[in-house]
Amino acid sequence: MEKRVILVTGGTGLVGKGIETALESCKEEGEEWIFLSSKDADLSSESSTMALFEKYKPTHVIHLAAIVGGLFANMKANCDFFRLNMKMNTNILEMAQKFNVKKVVSCMSTCIFPDKTTYPIDETMLHNGPPHSSNYGYSYAKRMIDVLNRSYKEQYNCDFTSIIPCNVFGPHDNFNIQNGHVVPGLINKVVEAQKNGTPFEIWGTGSPLRQFIYSIDLGKLIIWVLREYKEVDPIILASDQEVSIKDVAFMIKDAAEFQGEVKFLTDKADGQFKKTASNDKLKCYLPQFQFTPLETAIKESVTWYKENYATARR
């Protein structure tokens, strides 16, 4: 087998660690995996990105690096989220083209789909209207990955594609309450409430519906996309299960064995009510794929956070 040098940007974060864990059971001979962090290069700089490609000479790239945040972080800084993510994505794909990288898999998100749409959303609906106003900067920057992939294919015959995962969570997440995503934020909150003897507070009504994917499941699917998926069109990576924020919060409460008061702060914004995504395309390719049950994945994530409390990101 021809040697593959696989560069993973954002490789020390949540999804990168999920890939690393998944590789323990499916690494192939002839593959060299290089997991990079923001300390290795400034991907918003063209010269810094070029130096990275010159150093490692990758044959394949998984592009996970992004400026990310939860609902409230996006609402505060839509311009920064657009500007910095556009720079990173453009630099990665341009260097991949210049260095003759054989395949690039970039990561998008279900939150970038149109706000006003019909459900379930699928891959063909990505550009059918503006995203939710709360995160339009991040969303438009991520959508442009699909535009770039298609244009690089058309002009240079590059094999660039993208994945669209639903809400990802798991070990090595960012557990920051203000800027993190819903599951890690709630895990942090319940642990702090447990430590301090205070109520477990959930922002909003708890009514919005979401699909979640465990980072290790996502890692397995990304490896499959890199090795086997041949389309330039994106593919949604999500399970069929859709649950309310309230139900997730109570799963987290039970996993942490929290016995105190639970409070919903209904004066806080809920964000988009639902983002139901179809995984029909994924099921056509991998009909037998088994997702980790949500309760199990949440329990493992809570346990990891408690065991790594001193060093976890928050």
| 140-172 pLDDT, tens digit each | 999 999 999 999 999 999 999 999 999 999 999
Inform me whether the pLDDT recorded for 74 exceeds 90.
no
Rg of the chain on CA atoms, in Å: 19
214 is catalytic: no
Task: Taking residues 49-75, report their average pLDDT.
Answer: 87
pLDDT digits (tens, 9 = 90+) for 111-146: 899 988 899 999 999 999 999 888 889 999 999 999
Please identify which of the residues 56, 119, 136, 138 carries the catalytic annotation: 138
The fraction of the chain above a pLDDT of 90, given in percent, is 78
Inform me whether the pLDDT recorded for 1 exceeds 80.
no
Task: Taking residues 195-200, report their average pLDDT.
Answer: 95
Inform me whether the pLDDT recorded for 179 exceeds 90.
no
Question: What CATH number does the domain located at 4-168+212-237 have?
Answer: 3.40.50.720
The half-sphere exposure of 48 on its side-chain side, counting CA atoms within 13 A, is 11
What's the pLDDT score for residue 240? Answer: 86
pLDDT bin (cut points 50, 70, 90) of residue 69 is: low
The reply to whether domains 4-168+212-237 and 172-209+242-275+294-307 share a CATH topology is: no
**CB-CB contact of 219 with 19 (8 Å):** yes
What's the pLDDT score for residue 72? Answer: 62
Per the model's pLDDT, the better-predicted residue between 179 and 240 turns out to be: 240
What's the pLDDT score for residue 68? Answer: 73
What's the pLDDT score for residue 75? Answer: 66
Inform me whether the pLDDT recorded for 177 exceeds 70.
no
Inform me whether the pLDDT recorded for 175 exceeds 90.
no
Q: Which fold has domain 172-209+242-275+294-307?
A: UDP-galactose 4-epimerase; domain 1 (3.90.25)
Q: Tell how strand 103-107 and strand 60-63 pair up.
A: parallel
203's tokens: 């922002």
**CB-CB contact of 191 with 309 (8 Å):** yes
Task: Taking residues 192-216, report their average pLDDT.
Answer: 94
The half-sphere exposure of 177 on its side-chain side, counting CA atoms within 13 A, is 12
Domain ranges, ordered by start, for the chain = 4-168+212-237, 172-209+242-275+294-307
pLDDT bin (cut points 50, 70, 90) of residue 71 is: low
pLDDT bin (cut points 50, 70, 90) of residue 67 is: confident
Task: Taking residues 297-307, report their average pLDDT.
Answer: 97
What's the pLDDT score for residue 24? Answer: 92
Task: Taking residues 105-111, report their average pLDDT.
Answer: 92
**CB-CB contact of 270 with 204 (8 Å):** yes
Mean of the per-residue pLDDT values of the chain = 93
Residues sharing a CB contact under 8 Å with residue 30, sequence separation 6 or more, in sequence order: 1, 2, 3, 4
**DSSP codes joined into one string, 120-186:** SB-GGGTTSS---GGGHHHHHHHHHHHHHHHHHHHHH---EEEEEE-EEE-TT-B--TTTS-HHHHH
What's the pLDDT score for residue 70? Answer: 64
